[in-house]
Amino acid sequence: MKPLVLIDTPALYYRAFYSVPDSIVNDEGQPVNAVRGVLDAIAQMIRRFDSPRVVATMDADWRPAFRTAIMPEYKAARVKDAEAGTEIPSELAVQLPIMTAVMSAAGIPIAEVDGTEADDVIATMAAESRTPVVIVSPDRDLLALIDAATDVSVLRPRKGGEWEAITQADLPETYGVPDGTRYRELAAMRGDPSDGLPGAPGIGEKTAATLLANFGSLESIIKAAKAGVKTGGLSPKRAITLIEVEETLHKTIEVMRCLTDVAHGLDLETVPGVLDRAAVEAAARGQNIRRSVDNLVTTLGSADNGSRAETNPSTGAPPQPFAMTTGTSAAAPAQVSAADSPATPLPGPVSADSWSQSRLVGFDLETTGVDPSTARIVTAAFVESVDSSRTWLADPGVEIPEPARAVHGITTEFAQANGAPIAEVVAELCTVLADLKADDAVVVGHNVVYDLSVLAAEVRRHQPHIDLAALLPTIIDTFVLDKRVEQFRRGKRTLTETAKRWKVTLLDAHDAAADALAALDISRALAESSAEIAKLTRDEIMTSQGEWKRAQAADLQSWLRRKGNAEAVVDGSWPMA
């Protein structure tokens, strides 16, 4: 029998709600971004494991009484409405009935049990299953359920639309622990402020892993601490800390431990259920989720090899096939925040209307090639901080060449299966730029002339009615500014090397969000290093960069011709070709 795929639905719909553009609305103007994101993610899982045996687990109670009785502070910080005791935004709450109606009609069981979280339903089903189990969730706590003996693994989303499969064999290298039980103890020591779990002060993940590796278990670590052991990473200070928080750590483990005996009421041998196409049609009508629904239903049928029963009770007629569409509308998983990041304060006499004191937003594209006139967008990102970003994964409509795939890691197949149509992505990027201009924001990128030139070419292909130049806010190109500040510095001026020069962390080069964030931090470092640059207004910095860009291009062209390339031409266009 094919593997049982257990979806941590709340985790996925929150992720989709904050990553898929909220400009996607139904006929009533309500956002349906979370609906599309979850349906697309489930379809992707069905394809990945070639299994229609999917269960969507839900939180019947996201702060169960049995957990808050142990630790009253459990998830207390997430409560947005004290009277209702809820954390769910109203814009998301209205999407849940749409989501569950589609899944139920498609034969995907919805599993929730009064007084428990989705984690408890997942743990119970994993314990009951006679087949391999894959838990799909970004929640690290569920790594504690990984078990080689019963073939339980976890699939977690990563940046750029990728997924990370974690089995018990991966735990030692990834987290430094041998199994799920020890992972739970590591997590208890590390803590999780977002869940109200304090952990052991001063003991992070690596230290916790070291202690577990040397002493075997949390119980043994505590015993060693009480015995005055000073080896194996157990310094006197850490020993005192662990003894002081021993009771809290034991409570944390109890809070984190999932129930394995909840009465979910499903016969796992009969999953998936019956597909009711008429009900699917009714649930999808007017919701602007047709492409996602078509994708899900077609994928279910393909994975089931056409053997699953279907009904159309409203007409009694044979089910009619859904229209096939190319790709899906899912944006790449990422975070979204409406909050603006305050500009970094700069030393010296810098006026309030300077670009450096404005709202700064990083921008980056990853594409199919290096020629801006022919390259197509694969991923895109606008970033204000490490916790505030918006990203897109596009189906570029062409093959992604191997050299490009080797750079950013996105294959043609992955983009086709999970990317939004390029025309939608282009329109949404233009909308964001227009909004940023209206907000007097400044958009920052490294060699952003290339990115804007690619976007301009895509606009001409897919949205020719849009005047991109008229939408552009103030633009900062850190490539241009870096050469202005240190004109004669030797070495490359790539983003990676420029980040090193200005002591900026670049976590994942050629990930659009990571590159955009690095460019943002470099711009601040350049402003701090140059009073000339920092004090310029938005209009002045745009004019100056145009002049600097043309001069830099002329210098490079002259140098190339002196070196023997008599016909070398370096484009000095600004801010796009």
- Give the 3-state DSSP-derived string for 177-190, with helices as H, strands as E and coil as C: CCCHHHHHHHHHHH
Q: What would the mean pLDDT of 206-212 be, rounded to a whole number?
A: 95
Domain 355-562 in the same topology as domain 1-167+264-313? no
Interval 45-60: pLDDT, tens? 999 999 999 999 999 9
Q: Measured between alpha carbons, how far is 406 from 191 in angstroms, rounded to an integer?
A: 37
Tell me which of 43-57, 213-227, 324-338, 373-387 is least confident: 324-338
**Banded model confidence at residue 350, pLDDT cuts 50, 70, 90:** low
Residue with tokens 């745009």: 542
55-59, 334-338, 491-495, 528-532: range with lowest mean pLDDT: 334-338
Query: Residues 374-426: pLDDT tens digits?
Result: 999 999 999 998 667 898 999 999 999 988 988 887 888 888 988 999 999 99
Confidence of residue 216 (pLDDT cuts 50, 70, 90): very high
Q: What does the pLDDT read at residue 345?
A: 38
Q: Please give the share of the chain, as a percent, with pLDDT higher than 90.
A: 67
Determine the average pLDDT of the residues in 186-213.
93
- Residue 308 above 50 pLDDT? yes
191: DSSP letter: -
Residue ranges per structural domain of the chain: 1-167+264-313, 355-562
Q: Range with the lowest mean pLDDT among 285-289, 332-336, 449-453, 476-480? A: 332-336
The token pair at 89 is 């935004």
pLDDT at 344 (0 to 100) = 38
Residue 541 has pLDDT above 50, yes or no: yes
Among 18-22, 233-237, 296-300, the range scoring the smallest mean pLDDT is 18-22
Residues 6+ apart with CB under 8 A from 51: 2, 3, 4, 5, 303
In the prediction, which pLDDT does 237 show? 93
95-99, 110-114, 570-574: the lowest-pLDDT one = 570-574
- Quote the pLDDT of residue 388: 78
CATH 3.40.50.1010 is held by the domain 1-167+264-313 = yes
Q: Which of 271, 225, 253, 239 is nearest to 103 (CA)?
A: 271
Tokens 């990128």, residue located: 445
355-562, what's its fold?
Answer: Nucleotidyltransferase; domain 5 (3.30.420)
From residue 413, alpha-carbon distances to 136, 186, 417 in Å are: 21, 37, 6
Joined together, the tokens standing for residue 302 give: 């393909």
Q: How many CB atoms lie within 10 A of CB 164?
A: 12
Residue 333 pLDDT exceeds 50 = no
Name, in order, each residue with C-beta under 8 angstroms of 29's C-beta and a sequence gap of 6 or more.
none
Question: What is the arithmetic mean of pLDDT over 234-258?
Answer: 95
Give me the pLDDT at residue 507, please.
Answer: 67
Query: What local confidence, expressed as pLDDT, does residue 163 receive?
Result: 86
